[in-house]
Structure 1
Amino acid sequence: MQSFPVFSTVSKLHVVFCRSLLSTIAMCGTKFEYSARELVDMPTQTRGRLAGRKWLPGALRAGSKFPEYVPNPRENFPAFYRANASVAGCTPIRDFAKDVREIIERELHVHGALLFRGLPLKNGNDFSKFMRRLKDSLMRYEGGTAVRHEVAGSVYTASNDPPEYSIEPHNEMAYSDQHPLKVFFFCDVPALPGHGGESVITDVRQVSKKLDSEVVKNFKRLGIRYCRHLPTKKPGGYTSWQQIFNTEDKAYVEQYMAKHERSYRWESDGALTSWFRRPAFRNHPITGEEVWFNQVHSQNATYFQDHPLWAHLDIPSIKYPSNSYYGDGSEIEEDFLQHIREVLWEESVGFQMQKGDVLIHDNVFVGHARLGFTGKRKLLVSLSKD
């Protein structure tokens, strides 16, 4: 009679158990599928129109050279990462954050923008948790010019501007000495198909190369003077200095002005007027590459003159929420502002974000924008200093 080792059954069970364990590990591993060009090109008839668009600064100007439609995404702009379907339901947010951070550190300054899809994020609280797990140095949105409010820890609405308004391409807080180096957008409520609301990113590296040499020379020599006019808080008013600085304390605001070397005055009606000079270019902290980095166009009075809340008003330029000049205080040529806008849109791409998407961009190399929309749409934003 043939004899068998007494441990054979145990060994077989052990093998089965190990295979099951390995399968579970593989299934719940935090891996992404990468694609250089995952986003489907939008057919012309469904893409966001730029030329002649109402409530888009510069689009209705005589002789405008805006692209007819917002361009489609290009290869690796943005680079696309989809969570494997097998891992989305069993991998905790902290593990996804670890993998996302590794990809950011390796790829963000190369591609400029990364889009992650399939993360287990359902709302602003999940996004806030995800951002804390990334272990970035998150910023409070203080002293900025966008109309937004905080919805969770270090998470804000992307913009509270009227939905019909199209926000121009810009680098976040490029007018400030305290701008973020990374910007994170989370799609909480996607726009309905055919209702607009495309998310837009702009390759500022290419913008710097395409700007007219006379424009570049003027701004390199003179820099930019930003002026801001913030009313005191009142019902139905535009963003007040109390909202911008999250305080009612004028002394706190004055300390902020001194710290950031800004000139200011309090107006007789309680408003705050301030002005300061900033360069038009900056070098990337990793690559050293010099790029166009400012908001001379989107902080100019012409931005508000094409805005539904301001277009009906006949007021001096200095009374708009912001205005921009050359660094010596002289006026910027309107043709130069229009040229800047045209080049920014030429180097932009647009696409629809889906529920739960996270779009990350390097704030020095890449700007962002939004096309107007109808219906519901809600993006959230978080800012990082490193």
Structure 2
Amino acid sequence: MTTMSAVDVIRTKRDGGGLTDEQIDWVVGAYTRGEVADEQMSALAMAIFLNGMTAAETARWTRAMIDSGERLTWPAGRPTVDKHSTGGVGDKITLPLAPLVAACGVAVPQLSGRGLGHTGGTLDKLESIPGWRAQLTTAEIAAQLETVGAVVCAPTSGLAPADRKLYALRDVTGTVECVALIASSIMSKKIAEGAGALVLDVKAGSGAFMPDVESARELARALVAIGVEHGLRVSALITDMSVPLGRAVGNAVEVAEAVDVLRGGGPADVVELTLALAREMLALAGVDVDPARVLASGRAYDTWRAMITAQGGDPDAALPEPAHVHTVTARRSGVLSTLDARAVGVAAWRLGAGRARKEDPVQAAAGVLCRAKPGDRVTAGEPILELRTDTPDAIPSALAALEGGYAIADSAPERTPLVLETLRP
């Protein structure tokens, strides 16, 4: 018989105390089993939000969430490495990155999520490919890693169930923006996923969860510390998310752009970040291969085709096209000086590319195509943005989201580096 009680655990954290390993193990386990009520875990989450957790508490909280479910293992034929992004606008990097790293000789088990709000979801993007399926069994994932080397799919149901319950609770109780809870949520799933190494892409800027470099750095340090504590080879890149990545924001449009990258084209920023993350992943895996040469060779594109086909998709199928397109044009000639990532992300969301609630559907063809990016010279009347949707009634609210989100000046803005910092243990 346990002498623990949810009220005692809540009081400890409410009064600024540190939770013991035993308290953490008990409360996470009991909540997963339904023995601690949602309102009690809500109170504890708010106490943690207000008073924080030490690095030791956060690491133990992460371990308890991992232990609430299964921990996956993969074939030992080649090293495994994964990448996690904290989310952004136009962030389709997983799509070219997973097949590229696999083509370099590393297995990439990428368990991904869906979009919520103004940030897109990898699974939503891939589901715009006819026939492609996100839900795989553990056996199917393992088989695909052996044959193809890369898999991007939904997490299995047994992976960190405590995090799934707690994440839904945090979303409706105003406790999402807590570094300790964010870090433990991310790392519990990634460690349980079973990869031997992990590269984190922590976004900073208006379109990111962390609005500035200081808060992104705090989160990156917490993530890396948890990884080290759990014996994971880990590093983090802090990258700029003040401007959308690439020119495509949405689902099908981002897939098309990712394919362009894999075929040797694509926007320079998408290529740059794909290669930067690939180099970091390969370094952690101990593989000395130049990803730029592999990308240029076409082998990554071949791996992409095999990866899509293995999950029931048709890599040659036409991607969905929108029923309606609305063009935003330049009001004057000059240089596009500002294109706010959050404004574009919210516009794409309102057009149907994203969802307000997890159960909402998304439109495969909806999104925004950026015909110009900061630094590009534009002429009055020339297209800047292309709004794509199947529901034309959504266009006015998308335009409202873009109001003040872009500007034209006489000279080009100062360029911000894409990779702002790299954190290693």
TM-score by length of 1: 0.29
Structure with a larger share of its residues in helix: 2
Give the TM-score normalised by structure 2: 0.27
* Structure showing greater relative contact order (alpha-carbon pairs closer than 8 Å, 6 or more residues apart): 1
Higher alpha-carbon Rg: 1
